[in-house]
Amino acid sequence: MKLFLCILFGFYAISCNQDETTTVSENIAIEMEDQAAVVSVTTSQIGDSYAFSVGISSPDTGCDQYANWWEIVSEEGTLIYRRILAHSHVNEQPFVRSGSAVMISATQEVIIRVHMNTTGYSTQGYKGSVVNGFSEYMISGDFANELADQAPLPDGCAF
């Protein structure tokens, strides 16, 4: 009798069928191809505030599918800042967009994440602080999803 191991990874359940040959990483890659991802975060000081520049890689196809905002969220799930992206970036991947001044302390730990108009929040973000820097961070799929309905929100797509 053969013993099969079932693996549960986040929201991704891998088949226990003995004929299944897809690996965990292949299944995750298939699920992630429709998500955007934060690929870089830099900051600059403006008085007592900090401006963030966020690099995003997204599978934009036009207004039908594009990354429509990035945001800064506290570890507790409070929206600190949202940068609306007014159009798709089909021919500019990855791309970087800066935001205006954000009032946080240099030591406050925050999460930077991106949202797609079709698939919602990505689980690939960055976490850190201005003083210690930011690094890649896997975000729980259910983390602060209610923020998707909180203003400010995009009012359309320019192109």
For residue 24, the 8-state DSSP code is H
In whole angstroms, give the CA distance from residue 155 to residue 146.
18
Cα angle: 136, vertex 116, 97; to 5 degrees: 65
Q: How far is CA 2 from CA 16, 17, 19, 64, in A?
A: 12, 11, 12, 47
Q: What is the mean pLDDT of residues 30-54?
A: 88
The residue with tokens 């009798």 is: 1
- Average pLDDT over the chain, rounded to an integer: 84
**Domains of the chain in sequence order:** 35-148 (2.60.40)
pLDDT at 82 over 90: yes
Q: What is the mean pLDDT of residues 50-68?
A: 96
pLDDT at 153 over 80: yes
pLDDT in tens, 84-97: 999 999 888 899 99
